[in-house]
Chains A and B, each alone.
Chain A
Amino acid sequence: ETGVTQTPRHLVMGMTNKKSLKCEQHLGHNAMYWYKQSAKKPLELMFVYSLEERVENNSVPSRFSPECPNSSHLFLHLHTLQPEDSALYLCASSPEHTDTQYFGPGTRLTVL
Chain B
Amino acid sequence: DAKTTQPTSMDCAEGRAANLPCNHSTISGNEYVYWYRQIHSQGPQYIIHGLKNNETNEMASLIITEDRKSSTLILPHATLRDTAVYYCIVRTLRSGGSNYKLTFGKGTLLTVNP
Contacts and interface: CB of A to CB of B under 8 A. Distances in A.
Contacts of B101: 45, 48, 56, 58
Interface of A: 2, 4, 31, 33, 42-43, 45, 48, 50, 55-56, 58, 88, 90-92, 97-106, 108
Max count, chain A CB within 10 A of own CB: residue among B44, B103, B105: B44
Interface residues of B, number: 21
Nearest to A4: B43
A2 B45 contact: yes
Given A45-B100, A99-B32, 4 more contacts: A2-B45, A43-B44, A99-B49, A105-B43
A12 B9 CA distance: 32
A33 B100 contact: yes
Contact of B43 (A55, A92, A98): A92
A50 B93 CA distance: 15
